[in-house]
Structure 1
C-alpha cells in the first residue's frame, strides 16, 4: 500500500490525512526523521512558513527533508507548503529558509492578509472539471524555471493570470487549500504522482 506522510509540526494536518484516507492511502503524521523515512510521498500543509522551517530545524527534520526531496521523494506543498518547497521567496521573513527543490520564485502573502482570503473556481491541468479553490493568506508563483509545468492560474479579477499550481517532476504545489471541503481530486493527482514514482 502507498504510504504518504503529512508534515505535522504545524499547519492543517488533519484535513490532509482525511483526504488521503478517503483515497485509500496509508496516511500518517511526520514529526521525526524515522517517520519521514517511511514515506513514499509527503504533503507539506498550509500553516505559517516561518514557523514551519524553525520547527523543522528544532526537530532535526529540515536537513532530512531536503535530502529526501533532492533524492526524488514526491512532495506536495499547499499554501505555506508551496513556500517551503520554493527555491526563492519574495517578502520572506529575515533569514527564512526553505526545503527547496521546486524551481520557482513565490511571493509570500501575495493575495493580502487574512481578511483578503477568497474562493474561486479554477481550471487545473489533470482535473476534468473546475476545482473550487480556497485561498487564505496565500502565496502566488512569480517566476517558474524551465522544468516547471503550470497547472493552474487565477481566472479573473485583480490577480487574473497569477500562477497558483505547479508541478516539477515529483514535486507539486498549490497556493490554495485543496484539503478544504470533500473534493479529493487534487490529492488524487498527487497520489497518482507518488504511485508513478
Structure 2
C-alpha cells in the first residue's frame, strides 16, 4: 500500500524507518540497528527546497548572488545579476542594479550600480547611477561617481569623487531632454 505525503499530494519516496512494513531502500543500512533507527534528516529536509524556492522570487524579485563569509571570488565579470550581496571578498567587474557590501565584506574592482549600500569596504572604480549609501562602518576608496550620496557618521569616502553618474549616452540624452530612465 502506497502512503501519501501531505505535501503536494505526491508520493513520499524518501527512506524512513518510521513506516511499518516498508523496507528501508538505503543501501548503506545493512545492519539491524540501522534499519530499526528512524531516519529523521531526509524527511525533515525534503519539504525545505520547495518552500524556499517558492519564497525566493517573492523576496528578491530578480536574480541575486550572495558571496558568503570566508568566500573569495576573484577575477570574474558578474553580469545579469539584479542584487549582489558581498559578505566575503569579491575581485570583479560588474554591472548590476543593487550592491550590498556587509560589514565584513570587501569588493575590489569596477562596478556600475544603480544603488550601492556599503557597510564594509569598496576599492576601485564605482559608478552609482542613483544612490550611494555609506554606513558608519563603510569605507569607499578609488574613483567614485554618484547620483545621490548619503554618508553616515563614521563612514569614509576617499579618492576621486565626482557628482553626476550618467553611465551611458542613452541615459545622458534622456537626462538632457528631461526624461528619466526607468
Q: TM-score range by the shorter chain?
A: under 0.3
Q: What's the TM-score, normalizing by structure 2?
A: 0.28
Higher share of residues assigned strand: 2
Higher relative contact order (CA 8 A, sep 6+): 1
The structure whose residues are more often helix, as a share, is 1
**Higher Cα Rg: structure 1 or 2?**
2
